[in-house]
Structure 1
């Protein structure tokens, strides 16, 4: 006989769980009790949103579902930001939420929420466990749903009395092993379709990637002489030094690459949904057409035809299908002129363009790209500061980038903590804006508690820069709601037992980074940016002038 909390944790251990993230709550005390003796590391965050983002980042790093425990009501509401990241990034995750006792249901009891109704749209599956004996069944199913097809988040609500009650029940093993097809014949058909192209383009992204898949993608591109673009914030899926790599389809990305996407006559989508950002707001490619012939490879059969109308579609995970493509003999088509032109566009794009001020983000990012080892992990959230990272950083190894395709602010620090815990020997750098970092800055305490030592580089321009840019282009000269009063970031790092330094000249950054890294503790490097330095491609004054020219 075990209480429900013990049954739950034992089942997670049986399925392979090694680490979970939480903010504790009285609604799942039995689970916390079970973690006391479990071979699972329980990481206590300071906010449920931070805990959920750590779990999501852990899942990206490991391929297994990220596990997060939060309490009912406000705890679940706070964790919704991490659920949204997992949903849009196709990341497997299970959010366990405490619930009121069964006898209190439907009375609007203290912190009661109908989680299936409130969170169903954010999850692949949202359910509530009604019987202690069925905990293994629900948990095994949640694990399977999270990782299968297009991965994503699952929510399980856990009534307090279900967890505290005792039952005699056996743990369940993993779902049966799936015998996947080899895809050799389908890959040959795909290459036969590709052979008819004059201007082909491969766009890769989405879930299920691995070190092996990244290497196979490089071999496939080399054998066929193909240009490969990567979707938004999937820049580590192919070594950026590869001659076939032509850039990423990102927010603020290379206009020439988006134009090339529109010029291509055959586009192979490998694993990616090719969402709004990667299609430039559905304008570089238009779902309604006209446009290129499309072959769409995705793990979910529902994805083909959902937005893009492909001429061919394959239901397969990217790892399996790219392995089959990499084994095929060269077609013998000469696309070198087309591929070379796209590569030249990329190389011109990543040539640094000077921005105003004594601290130049383009030079800071290029220094990091040239001096960080290949295995370094770089994390970021959302904001104009990330455009410098997208444009000027060269990703050379798979899983060296942790960033939300959902565009969630505050993601960088929780992701950096998860990366430090999973790979304590690898350098971890968190790039953040002053507004982005302050969304989850309380997680510095979590980093200190678990001796995670990321180097956090804060781009301080005293504003929500992305919104200010839109503001100036739409309502020039009418700033409202985008100015920030910031703390002393280096002093804040010191308050959490870390080190901090303020950089006011670009040439001082290398020494600042080396000192921060040598400290072996969490570190903050604050970059004091010029107010004009709004983005890599536009100053504040230029954004305002553009708005005025349009008569905004």
Structure 2
């Protein structure tokens, strides 16, 4: 698009034109008077930028974060000052811990009122300083293109993450003659020749190596190259906590999901490994089971840590080898490597995959409605390219255990464990891939954090399917409470509305499911309604609250805790 340098424009017009140049196709927003010039300027870009009007800022921020996960480009969110910014902060925190490119624009009081605690005024540098890669305020209209170009570069370079830009009213209403800047160029990092030579030596010497993939920045080409590399070098492959989309779980080298809820066999395999090759993942608390699977600061296994940000390497773990590289550049550098290991590893790979396949068999569940059986049916019946989204809660363990995810775009899950994420993420996924099936899983508490975003699904005619797991309590916290203070539950139960009636108010379909045998037909009906009517369908799954996680019950957790207390 040709740069404009001879036309006077207001700040809103300059900003929106710059977003268009940077390739923005969709943005998520809750309108506010603090950035009216930006809203008005959208009139000039309706052919290129879709503005999605959300119901609450946390929903808008989650949708933008999910867009960043799906596309690798910064998700764009606009909110108003003060309350709008605080509501959106949860999406910024999610983007930071999930390493997702995102840019949050916040309306701000004018510089003539600044630092008087004016109406809804907040210092965003202080507020977002520890949860964003860069926080700034654009105080001059003529510098808007400069700040926007830098924001895109920062959000996508190294370890991707969120950028926050405050927009004072006088900056947006001000006028300037300024040249537009060209589209940003993503800075990619690649390993050196010496890095790959040493890596090959370590791999050839290892007898029980394990490949762990995760993080962000994956491309389909990178997934395919990593898959071929794993086969050549006979490596079992695990996916880091809630990054199930990074590897095809049906691949013969797939070993399963690493982190909370993992199988004993997979945990023991990693503990027994003599080399872990971690690609793209930070190896956070959830993936390492509280830094016990891979110990900090010195792992018991040899660790080759591949990550795009040098500041992360050696920060928590002392690696045997640290490689500064993005997953795409690293995957490309793997192409010429050929194995030279003396000890055959094919049997271990086959055993790991067989153990993973065995974990797909439904475990026992108390009561007439089995979450294990329902999640297993869902996992088998959805097409390969379907996207499954979740927020936070033990219900997600069932969905992630029994679905063999098939690569990029098939899973959206916050590694930060934030509640209320699933529905906004499903909306974002359906906007991005309208022809694909999108299913949201949400606990009854998780769903009510953002269920108002059903209005977005209704307004934009998005046929998503929502599974609400209704056990009438904060289940994950109840499990922790029973472990630490057994038989003393308090302040965890709540009464729920009839969720089937809620979705009907938004024009959708609602079905209550209370028996395992009724789930397949109800799911088929929901999927058909969503696809034909382009409106949300919801299954309210009512089940025995004693079933808290795959293979676990609250009563068993309580009994074990009481036995420990008794000595």
TM-score, structure 1 as length reference: 0.97
5+ unaligned residues in a row in structure 2: which ranges? 1-7
- Give the SS at the match of 1:274: coil
Structure 2 equivalent of residue 234 of structure 1: 243
Per-residue CA deviation, residues 489-543 of structure 1 (Å, 9 max, x unaligned), is: 1111110011110111111111111111211320100111112111112112112
Question: What SS does the aligned partner of 1:149 have?
Answer: coil
Comparing 32-41 with 403-412, greater Cα deviation is found at 32-41
Partner of 2:9: 2
The worse-fitting range, judged by mean Cα deviation, of 433-442 and 339-348 is 339-348
CA distance in structure 2 between the aligned counterparts of 1:179 and 1:385, rounded to whole angstroms:
37
Alignment of 1:35 with 2:42, yes or no, is yes
CA distance in 2, matches of 1:96, 1:138: 12
Q: Which is worse superposed, 340-349 or 78-87?
A: 340-349
Q: Distance in 2 between matches of 1:176 and 1:256?
A: 44
Q: 2:551 aligns with which of 525, 533, 537?
A: 537
Once superposed, what is the RMSD of the aligned Cα atoms?
1.5
Alignment of 1:453 with 2:443, yes or no, is: no
Superposed CA deviations along residues 230-263 of structure 1, whole A, max 9, x for unmatched, are 1001112111122211111122222332222221
Q: Which 10-residue stretch deviates more, 482-491 or 257-266?
A: 257-266
- Asked if 1 retains the 8 angstrom alpha-carbon contact of 2:279 and 2:305, the reply is yes
TM-score (norm 2): 0.95
Aligned-pair distance for 1:351? 2.2
| 2:30 corresponds to | 23
Say if 2:400 is the partner of 1:390: yes
Partner of 1:429: 439
How far 1:225 moved relative to its partner? 1.0
Judge conservation of contact 1:46–1:445 (CA < 8 Å) in 2. yes
Matches within 5 A, 1:139-288: 139-176=148-185, 181=190, 183=192, 186-288=195-297
Which runs of 4 or more aligned residues in structure 1 lie more than 3 Å from their structure 2 counterparts after TM superposition? 175-186
Q: CA deviation at 1:185?
A: 5.7
CA 1:489 to 1:181, structure 2 compared with 1: closer, same or farther past 3 Å?
Answer: closer
Query: Which runs of 5 or more structure 1 residues have no equivalent in the other structure?
Result: none
d(CA) in 1 for partners of 2:349, 2:188: 37
Question: Which residue in 2 is equivalent to 1:94?
Answer: 103
Q: Does 1:311 align with 2:325?
A: no
Match runs of 1:301-380 below 5 Å = 301-333=310-342, 334-380=344-390
Structure 1 position 56 matched with structure 2 position 70: no
Deviation of 1:178 after TM superposition, in Å, equals 5.0
Q: CA deviation at 1:85?
A: 0.6
Cα deviation code 1:412-440 (max 9, x no counterpart): 00000000100000000001111111110
CA distance in 1, matches of 2:188, 2:488: 60
The offset of 1:177, in angstroms, is 6.5
**Equivalent in the alignment of 1:498:** 508
- Hey, what's the Cα distance between the residues in 1 that align with 2:394 and 2:189? 42
Structure 1 residue matching 2:511: 3-state secondary structure: strand
1:184 deviates by 5.7
Asked whether 1:466 is paired with 2:473, we answer: no
